Amino acid sequence: MQPGVGPIDRCSIDYLVQHLLQTQAQRAPGREALVEGTTKLTYAEVETLSNRLGNALQEMGVHRGDRVATFFRKSIDEVIAIFGILKAGAVFVPVNPLLLPPQISHILNDCRVTAVITDPASLGFLKEAFDTADSLRFVLSRGPGGTPEERWRSLDLAPILAVGNDDPPRDLCLSIDLASIIYTSGSTGRSKGVMLSHGNILASARLGSSYLRNTPEDRILSILPFSFDYGLFQLMSAFLHGATLVLCRFRFSTEIIEVLLRERISGMGGVPTLWALLTEKRSPLHQHTFPHLRYVTNSGAALPQAVLRALRAALPETRIYLMYGMTEAFRTTFLPPEEIDHRAGSIGKPLPDVEVYLVNDKGEPCAPGEIGELVHRGPTVSMGYWGQPEATDRVFRPDPFAPPELRHVEKVYYSGDLVKMDADGFLYFIGRRDAQLKCSGYRVSPTEVEEVLYDTGLLREVAVIGIPDELLGHTIRAFVAPRDGKEVRVDELLDICGRSMPR
């Protein structure tokens, strides 16, 4: 480990997410922080650029607690935007770039965003969502401003980053304040905004990176979007330790392999569909060795055993971590690489500083082998759902096993996941208590898909179910009965679903 470079030692009440960047810029200003293709920025450069943006946002009238959305397809500019928003005292809302305008409109209106920061190529796509966002005042991207008739001001991000105020903005928040809202993956735009405090994000970086053993020498490949809690974790854990984050957008597996080799990646996270793509028989993954790739992680859904076997065969020297968690509480458990052979199908044991309860329908602790609902306790339990107190109270509840005098002090998260524990304390996921399905790592509500189909006016009856799929988790199947006199084509219904829901 280089002198003066390393993890932050403690996260106190006045330590904020942006201080991760500030600390590394002071300790090792010339150290490489971000890589995107041929563009590389040091920690000092990211600090300066985000200071300029933070000061500009404050000068524009963005206030403490205002929500500012980001919409990017994996870009250094998004990292600068996230830290600039935080330095302005505002709340960053990363929007999944796979969403369609109706879902984006829902997010912008639900949390009443003040500003959106995006890339020029997305402006036309986003205009429909902007037109419905009554609270929107500013849109920032690199390039000329918009037309005078727009309700919001369009501002060029380039001069702000080129010649802005370099001084760090004055801190306006505490670690218990809201830092980010991440929207859960809903199927029709009715997703809920999970509120994360500065302390939640800092704790997730600390807990997750502790068992991955991250160091300043790590070069972490960032493929997952920052709107996915694990993608955000990769960013924050890299900055916690002064590591390098390599951003990657890809269409083909060959592009990922090229980055792994060129950048000598030491750590990488993915979801089952990504690992299935990389381990296909014709994948170039099998044609190379990766002695520098220290670990890979799987999250979002269970990794099929066949894919796991193929991944282990392709990366025999790489440690594979299987992880389980949810946006509302970050990661809950992990299965250490050395347990994979002995615990097939297990989601592992709780992370450091995380406590897990399994409770039955009576609220009592489950015995080994008994199926119960998983309850998560610890510093990563989020603040609840934005603007939805009833939904928050349903799943964020007082700790049932705390002394009566302390039950009002702390909330735990009732996940809705049914889990059992073996005699050695290893946990196994059984299914969902509610009707939600997991498809390619996204939560899908069958009821919401049914509503989209009903809204066509073509159908008398609709029933949507999930078909278990080893790779995707579930595939979604709809059974429909046309209204009398209505002619219905399958391709027409698929087209409507494609325009109304994320693909």
> In three state form, how does the secondary structure of 109-175 look?
HHCCCCEEEECHHHHHHHHHHHHCCCCCCEEEECCCCCCCCCCCEEEEHHHHHHHCCCCCCCCCCCC
pLDDT computed for residue 239 by the predictor: 98
| Mean pLDDT value of segment 40-47 | 99
pLDDT computed for residue 3 by the predictor: 38
pLDDT computed for residue 300 by the predictor: 87
- Looking at the domain covering 250-317, what would its CATH class be? alpha beta
> For 79-125, what is the HEC assignment?
HHHHHHHHHCCCEEEECCCCCCHHHHHHHHHHCCCCEEEECHHHHHH
pLDDT computed for residue 474 by the predictor: 85
Rounded to a whole number of angstroms, the distance between the first and last alpha carbons of the chain is 43
319-369 tens-digit pLDDT: 999 999 999 999 899 999 999 998 988 999 999 899 999 999 999 999 999
pLDDT computed for residue 469 by the predictor: 82
Q: What percent of the chain has pLDDT over 70?
A: 93
452-465 tens-digit pLDDT: 887 787 876 778 88
250-317 and 445-500 share one CATH topology? no
Distance separating alpha carbons of residues 104 and 102, to the nearest angstrom:
5
Beta carbons of 384 and 392 less than 8 angstroms apart: yes
What DSSP string runs through 202-248?
HHHHHHHHHHHT--TT-EEEE-S-TTSHHHHHHHHHHHHHT-EEEE-
Asked whether the predicted pLDDT for residue 33 surpasses 60, the reply is: yes
359-409 tens-digit pLDDT: 999 999 999 999 999 999 999 999 999 999 999 999 999 999 999 999 889
Q: What are the domain boundaries of the chain?
A: 18-199, 250-317, 345-436, 445-500
Give the pLDDT band of residue 145 (cuts 50, 70, 90): low
Q: Under 8 Å CB-to-CB from 355, ≥6 apart: which residues? A: 376, 377, 378
Q: What percent of the chain has pLDDT over 90?
A: 71
Beta carbons of 361 and 384 less than 8 angstroms apart: no
Q: Could you tell me which CATH number the domain at 445-500 has? A: 3.30.300.30
Q: Flag the least confident range among 61-75, 182-196, 363-377.
A: 182-196
pLDDT computed for residue 377 by the predictor: 97
- CATH tag for 18-199 (out of 3.40.50.980, 3.40.50.720, 3.40.47.10, 3.30.450.40): 3.40.50.980
pLDDT computed for residue 439 by the predictor: 80
Q: Topology of 345-436 in CATH?
A: Luciferase; domain 3 (2.30.38)
Q: Classify residue 302 by its DSSP letter.
A: P
